[in-house]
Amino acid sequence: MTTITRRRFTAFTAGAAGLATVGAARAQAAAPPLLLPRRLQPGDTIGLVNPSSAVYEREPYEITHETLRALGFKVKEGTHLRARRGQFAGTDAQRAADVNAMFADPGVQGILAVTGGSGGNRMLPLVDYDSARRHPKVLAGFSDLTALINAVHVKTGLVTFHAPVGVSEWNEFSVAHFRGAVMAAEPMLLRNPPPTGDALVPRDNRISTLRGGRARGPLIGGNLSVLAAMAGSTYWPRFDGAILFLEDINEYLYRIDRMLSTLKLAGAFDRLAGVVLGAFTNCTPGDGNYGTLTLDEVFDDWFAPLGVPVYAGASFGHIKKKFTLPVGLPVEMDADAGTVRFLQPAVA
């Protein structure tokens, strides 16, 4: 049995703390400069990839093709787009190979995921980030695509997009925000759609201000479950000074609470500038679970102590009308007005 003296223990802990400080400083210093993709134009080719789950029917592919053609684009499918291994759209190597091929292909101007699902984090070590840096393109998707769009941004500095996937409902609201962000290069002001109906008091598209105020910083985040699963990896985003945005679907409330605790314990909340919460669709206590905290209480517990602007109910996540959110772009949030404003165009 090895005996550790007080002096050796003190030296060890001081050295470990020093290494942690140096490591954090190096990680911060190693952050690549912001890199903007070229804006998309009518006639451009969009490469379709499936970094996560398989699609089991033909119709979703048909809908995706028709949607992109209606937007004015040509379409190219990844070699393994329709592959399947278990629940995944092919092996990890196949899914990563399609992403790598689309970045390297000079005939492809943008990359869009057909769907989300699960498994995107499995292929992150196989992505060619040097190629993505050399060939910056619009990379878009949401839900499980949180893994890929954050990893690419962290490794390359490329602004990526939390945006509808191919099988999403591309309604007027979602199309206008996608076009404004990635085609028109507009400094977008993201505000929820106006309420519908003739109710005396609006009942839909509401925002809830947890703590008022404005804040500026790079926009970082995505699906809470996926982001929490990335904690501790080299693909983990840099949260210092960031505006964190989160959404989720089909999670029991105790799991939402646990995943937020993971982000807190991993240091993600330590130096945030602000928080924007989107839709937490079908996130419930679960059958017979009557003693759980409410979603409001979970958010209050984790975000109220931060002392930064926070609002909930923003129009992104697993809902029909979606913002296109540029991961890594400097933005300004206003928690009282319920808005996010780009501080510069998201594309070049």
User: Which residues belong to the active site?
Assistant: 143, 247, 318
Distance CA 111, CA 166 (A): 11
The alpha carbons of the chain give a radius of gyration, in whole angstroms, of 21
Tokens found for residue 106:
């000079």
Distance CA 183, CA 134 (A): 21
Distance CA 346, CA 348 (A): 7
Tokens found for residue 41:
């134009």
Side-chain half-sphere exposure of 348, counting CA atoms within 13 A: 10
Find out whether 22 and 115 touch, Cβ atoms under 8 Å: no
Measured between alpha carbons, how far apart are the two ends of the chain, in Å?
A: 62
Residue 153 backbone dihedrals phi, psi, to 5 degrees: -65, -45
Tell the residue number behind the tokens 């995943």, with chain if given. 259
274-281 and 243-249: which strand pairing? Answer: parallel
Compute the residue count for the chain.
348
Name beta bridge partners: 57: none
Find out whether 83 and 94 touch, Cβ atoms under 8 Å: yes
